[in-house]
């Protein structure tokens, strides 16, 4: 049985100065995936393709095992999307916006909506356009969650949020994932969010997927090893993620295997240290390969 | 259909200020048209020789009436920032993220345009009827005037579908450039018509009505309904295929 909520195959979108893909990505039910990348790496473009707001040049998107183009309405009913789309409705009060959105979701939970509005201290009588950047994000998040979706597709949901709202949002996202049936796809620049919410991390750079890895894998298997001399024969070893020759050091995604290998190669290990998530993300996001 | 109507009604509610200004502008154009129509009728059917501007009356009916399907006095039409901001596409982009079938979205735009056309046509022809009532009926009968309204309403129906298509099927740049293209086509059509037929278009329509009566209204209405259906289908196909951002 296919347990993926999302299957992306060969997804490509071309612009004059930027191309996304070809991207292949699978997201399992019950997992939270962070899409991380520098500004302009293609995160928002990917999300818009996933919502069919942009048309791909090639490739296919399947949500819940169904083709997005064929079952678009049903799929969108199951996805809560935050992606800065409400700006053209700035002349509406927040409660009017909620009425406009809720009409299209049979699963809309009015009680839950009221709870969230209260929890995030949003004044429904204020016009959306007159709200602060943080409030706008809160409104988007509340609208995305109030129809009880199976998947949340969140494009930088905490940008501009105050500390207290960021904490509440993290709590709500963690509680959203609790039953193991729901999934989150989160584009973010906030490492704390990745640490606390996500299971997998996909790195995008210049529209291409650089790698996808399990967050826990970083803590269990990744490490930095300082050696007496960098063994040139290991340069192309698949477990070496990065190396520097001065001072000689290796970043590996399999510290135990690398330790054995260095011993076999009779390279003296000076020091070993686990790497943290920030380092790994920063490395993949910033380094040209 | 019900959902499309719900959305069209909501949009109308959100745009009431623009609609109000559009109604006022329509009244202004209608008073001008009333005088011109009266002059055209006197020129064609009266005994005295009348000089009037047939180009102006053709502009009013040929170019103006299809615009009655759009709230043309709203911000996106009046503000050149629309070229950059593209508010219609952004609005549609948001709707496309909701679980609304694209056919419903297309239909809601068509209904919105039809409701607007209905309201503004009542205002336009109602104002003409009020301002030109006494003198106009000396030259054309009330029935001919009603047929005249149906003919031009049919014409507007056939072409007004271009408004939602440009608004939601293209971008902000096209919204401001398309009137120039349409104007160029309009000038070519007008000049060709004058040289081949020898009458103004409105004059020619008045003559056809006198000769053929309701038949002309029926044909115009039929073309109107077909045009409206065609534009609605084109818009739906376009909404399905386009990039919104």
Domain range summary for chain A, segments of one domain joined by +? 4-215, 222-286
pLDDT at B52: 76
A74:B99 CB<8 A = yes
ipTM given for this complex: 0.88
Which range is most confident: A106-120, A156-170, B63-77, B162-176?
Answer: A106-120
Q: Considering CB atoms only, which of A51, A74, A103 is closest to B97?
A: A51
Q: Cβ(B53)–Cβ(B203) under 8 Å? A: no
pLDDT digits (tens, 9 = 90+) for B68-122: 999 988 888 887 777 778 889 999 999 999 999 999 999 999 999 999 999 999 9
pLDDT of residue A191: 86
pLDDT in tens, B35-63: 888 888 888 887 776 677 888 899 889 98
Please answer yes or no on whether A85 and B10 come within 8 Å at the CB atom: no
**Cβ contact A72–B101 (<8 Å):** yes
Identify the pLDDT of residue A70. 92
Q: How far is B49 from chain A (nearest CA, A)?
A: 54
Q: What is the pLDDT of residues B156-201, one digit of tens each?
A: 999 999 989 998 988 888 888 888 888 899 889 988 999 898 888 9
Calculate how close chain A gets to B77, using CA atoms only, in Å: 15
Q: Is B9 touching A (CB cutoff 8 A)?
A: no
pLDDT at B186: 87
pLDDT of amino acid B218: 94
Question: Is the omega angle on the peptide bond into residue B225 within 30 degrees of 0, that is, cis?
Answer: no
**Contact between B94 and A86 using a beta-carbon 8 Å cutoff:** yes
Instruction: Tell me which chain B residues have a C-beta less than 8 angstroms from the C-beta of A54.
Output: 243-245
Is the CB of residue B244 less than 8 Å away from at least one CB of chain A?
Answer: yes
Give the model's pLDDT for residue A288: 58
Q: Which fold has domain A4-215?
A: Rossmann fold (3.40.50)
Q: Note whether B93 contacts A53, CB cutoff 8 Å.
A: yes
User: Tens of pLDDT along A205-245?
Assistant: 989 988 888 888 888 888 999 998 888 888 888 888 888 88
B237 and A CB contact within 8 Å = no
CB within 8 Å: A54 and B243: yes
- The pLDDT value given to residue B215: 93
User: Chain B residue closest to A143 (CA)?
Assistant: B98
- Chain A contact for B100, CB < 8 A? yes
Q: Are B97 and A103 an interchain contact pair (Cβ–Cβ within 8 Å)?
A: no
Tell which of B17, B95, B98 to mutate to test the A interface (max A CBs under 10 Å).
Answer: B98
For A51, name the nearest residue in chain B, comparing CA atoms only: B97
Mean of per-residue pLDDT scores for chain A: 90
* Mean pLDDT for the stretch of residues B205-214: 92
| Chain-chain contact of B100 with A51 (C-beta, under 8 angstroms) | no
Q: How confident is the model at residue A43 (pLDDT cuts 50, 70, 90)?
A: very high
């Amino acid at each position: 049985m296919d347990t993926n909520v999302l299957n992306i195959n060969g997804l490509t979108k071309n612009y004059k100065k930027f191309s996304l893909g070809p991207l292949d990505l699978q997201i399992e039910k019950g997992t939270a995936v962070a899409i991380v990348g520098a500004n302009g790496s293609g995160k928002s473009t990917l999300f818009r393709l996933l919502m069919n707001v942009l048309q791909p040049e090639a490739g296919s998107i399947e949500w819940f095992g169904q083709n997005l183009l064929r079952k678009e309405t049903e799929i969108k009913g199951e996805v809560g999307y935050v992606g800065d789309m409400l700006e053209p409705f700035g002349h509406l009060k927040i409660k009017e916006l909620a009425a406009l959105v809720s009409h299209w979701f049979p699963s809309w939970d009015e009680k839950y909506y009221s709870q969230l509005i209260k929890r995030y201290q949003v004044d429904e009588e204020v016009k959306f356009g007159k709200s602060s950047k943080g409030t706008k994000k809160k409104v988007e998040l509340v609208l995305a969650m109030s129809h009880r979706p199976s998947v949340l597709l969140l494009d930088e949901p905490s940008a501009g949020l105050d500390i207290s709202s960021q904490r509440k949002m993290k709590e709500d996202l963690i509680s959203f994932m609790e039953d193991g049936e729901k999934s989150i796809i989160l584009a973010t620049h906030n490492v704390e969010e990745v640490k606390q919410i996500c299971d997998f991390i996909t790195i995008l750079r210049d529209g291409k997927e650089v790698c996808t890895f399990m967050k826990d894998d970083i803590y269990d298997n990744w490490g930095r090893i300082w050696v007496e001399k960098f063994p040139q024969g290991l340069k192309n070893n698949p477990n070496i993620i990065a190396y520097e020759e001065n001072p000689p050091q290796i970043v590996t995604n399999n510290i135990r295997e690398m330790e054995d290998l260095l011993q076999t190669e009779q390279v003296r290990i000076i020091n070993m240290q686990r790497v943290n998530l920030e380092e790994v993300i920063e490395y993949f996001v910033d380094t040209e390969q | 259909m019900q959902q499309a109507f719900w959305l069209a009604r909501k949009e109308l509610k959100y745009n009431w200020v623009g609609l109000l200004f559009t109604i006022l502008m329509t009244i202004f154009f209608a008073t001008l048209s009333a005088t011109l129509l009266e002059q055209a009728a006197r020129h064609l059917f009266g005994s005295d020789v009348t000089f009037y501007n047939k180009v102006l009356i053709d502009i009013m009916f040929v170019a103006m009436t299809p615009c009655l399907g759009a709230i043309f006095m709203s911000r996106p039409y009046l503000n050149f920032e629309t070229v950059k901001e593209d508010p219609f596409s952004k609005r549609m982009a948001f709707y496309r993220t909701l679980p609304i079938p694209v056919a419903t979205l297309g239909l809601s735009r068509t209904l919105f345009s039809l409701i607007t056309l209905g309201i503004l046509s009542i205002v336009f022809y109602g104002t003409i009827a009020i301002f030109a009532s006494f003198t106009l009926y000396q030259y054309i009968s009330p029935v001919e005037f009603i047929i005249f309204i149906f003919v031009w309403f049919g014409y507007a129906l056939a072409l007004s579908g271009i408004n939602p298509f440009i608004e939601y099927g293209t971008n902000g740049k096209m919204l401001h450039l398309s009137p120039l293209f349409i104007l160029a086509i309009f000038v070519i059509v007008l000049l060709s018509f004058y040289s081949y037929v020898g009458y103004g278009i409105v004059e020619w329509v008045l003559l056809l009505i006198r000769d053929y009566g309701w038949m002309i209204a029926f044909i115009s209405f039929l073309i109107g309904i077909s045009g409206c259906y065609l534009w609605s289908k084109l818009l739906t196909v376009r909404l399905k295929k386009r990039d919104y951002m």
